[in-house]
Structure 1
Amino acid sequence: MPLIALTGGIASGKSTIARRLEEHGAVVIDADAIVRDVQRPGSEVLERIAAEFGAQVLAPSGELDRAALAAVVFSDAAARERLNAIVHPAVRSESQRRFDAALAAQEDAVVVYDVPLLVEARVDDPWDLIVVAHAPAAVRADRLQRLRGMTAAQAADRIAAQVPDEQRLAIADVVIDTSGSLDDTTAQTDALWRRLVG
């Protein structure tokens, strides 16, 4: 079972690559989905987040108010570190459970862990291959504004809150350049799949 880490900065096209690999037959495990699962109402993780950051990060429904939490942590590196100390261990445990389940279900599965914060949290795990989706920061800022409705300042803050591109590129075994057309990204992803199963 090859275990592939797929990472990239915000709006880098990582999800497009993950979807294409899934179409080919990969088992894609989404770190963001795991984060949402471990932060569900009633979870220990959500209780700890509320205790650390206050009730203002909870919606009236009792769910995490992601926008309110983002407003606190994206502009404060120390707050981000406190949040990560709560969330990362739970995500690590649940992701490992899902890797093990994928292997148990299909011994020769290609498992792709779609993980935005690889450099920050999981770079030393025993990956068979690290794939980085890459587009220049200016391209990603434009995508955030056009596709997600952010202001230029919001886009810049989100990009600045992540590790610099150079740190992601330094750990890459494979870089998929997503700055061109969708067809270009798809062709590079298809070539990666052939490498994985060849």
Structure 2
Amino acid sequence: MKPRRIALTGGIATGKSTVAGMFAELGAVVLDADQAARDVVEPGHVCWHQLREAVGASYFEPDGHLRRKALRDGIIRDASLRSRVNAILHPAILKTMDRQWREWRDKDPRKVIIFDIPLLFELGLDIRFDTIILVYVPEHVQIERLMSRDGLSRDAALRTLSMQSPIEWKKKRAQIVIDNSKDLSATRGQVKEIWVSLTEEENWEHSQ
């Protein structure tokens, strides 16, 4: 039987990382796209060389490390820069995560493995997964959290949100939705219910 591929996604300030941590606490292997993104731009990596050539030395520290905030600010302002960066980083990130997934499947076929990918829908990666879990809060909550967390004005928060697909659009396309607009205990309860379902399905598949 073909192994099931599970993805976790969300939107900016929906609390996806918190939910990913809850799944990890329950025993899931969480393959983190953000961590993979950090790994592939370490000095000396082939992706590091490609990125430096594409965006220029001004986005790098004297010791060669990427100036992440400067690049993040740059891609918010400049769509052309964002396209160049994405064309380099995204294939490398996916290649890293696919390798990690195969390694874990070989090590323990019964393990629940979750791909944590913020831009899953934006990159058209949803077709690669059997089950998509969305961490959801209404857009007005995203805006409030961005303003509070990052000290942004409302206009800046809206510009940041505009870089991703609307959360309501994503909600219609996910198989499972976790409402993270209430307190953490409510979120944790939803995660536990989903975990029971995922582990029961995984055990059933391997019993056939």
Instruction: Name the TM tier (shorter chain).
Output: over 0.9
User: In 2 relative to 1, CA 47–154 (structure 1 residues): closer, same or farther, beyond 3 Å?
Assistant: farther
The worse-fitting range, judged by mean Cα deviation, of 91-100 and 72-81 is: 72-81
Deviation at 1:82, TM superposition (A): 1.7
> Match of 2:192?
190
> Match of 1:142?
144
> Match of 1:60?
62
Say if 2:126 is the partner of 1:123.
Answer: yes
Write the letter of the residue equivalent to 2:179: D
Give the SS at the match of 2:64: coil
Tell me, in whole angstroms, the C-alpha distance in 1 between the residues paired with 2:79 and 2:166. 14
> Match of 2:203?
none
Tell me, in whole angstroms, the C-alpha distance in 2 between the residues paired with 1:191 and 1:78. 42
Tell me, in whole angstroms, the C-alpha distance in 2 between the residues paired with 1:5 and 1:183. 22
TM-score with structure 1 setting the length: 0.93
Contact (CA 8 Å) 1:134, 1:178: kept in 2 or not? yes
Give the SS at the match of 2:39: helix
Deviation at 1:119, TM superposition (A): 0.7
Contact (CA 8 Å) 1:73, 1:80: kept in 2 or not? yes
**Structure 1: 4+ residue segments shifted above 6 A:** none
Contact (CA 8 Å) 1:2, 1:110: kept in 2 or not? no
> Match of 1:84?
86
% identical equivalent positions: 37
The worse-fitting range, judged by mean Cα deviation, of 149-158 and 103-112 is: 149-158
**2:18 maps to which of 4, 9, 16:** 16
Tell me, in whole angstroms, the C-alpha distance in 2 between the residues paired with 1:80 and 1:191. 38
> Match of 2:154?
152
User: In 2 relative to 1, CA 61–144 (structure 1 residues): closer, same or farther, beyond 3 Å?
Assistant: farther
> Match of 1:167?
169
Contact (CA 8 Å) 1:75, 1:157: kept in 2 or not? no
The worse-fitting range, judged by mean Cα deviation, of 75-84 and 171-180 is: 75-84
**2:6 maps to which of 4, 12, 22:** 4
Tell me, in whole angstroms, the C-alpha distance in 2 between the residues paired with 1:43 and 1:195. 39
Question: Number of matched residues?
Answer: 197
User: In 2 relative to 1, CA 59–152 (structure 1 residues): closer, same or farther, beyond 3 Å?
Assistant: farther
> Match of 1:103?
105
Gap runs ≥5 in structure 1: none
TM-score with structure 2 setting the length: 0.88
Write the letter of the residue equivalent to 1:83: V
Deviation at 1:35, TM superposition (A): 0.5
Q: Larger Cα Rg: Structure 1 or Structure 2? A: 2
Say if 2:49 is the partner of 1:47.
Answer: yes
User: In 2 relative to 1, CA 155–61 (structure 1 residues): closer, same or farther, beyond 3 Å?
Assistant: farther
Tell me, in whole angstroms, the C-alpha distance in 2 between the residues paired with 1:66 and 1:97. 25
Say what the alpha-carbon RMSD is for the aligned residues: 1.5
Write the letter of the residue equivalent to 1:123: D
Deviation at 1:52, TM superposition (A): 1.5
Tell me, in whole angstroms, the C-alpha distance in 2 between the residues paired with 1:140 and 1:59. 32
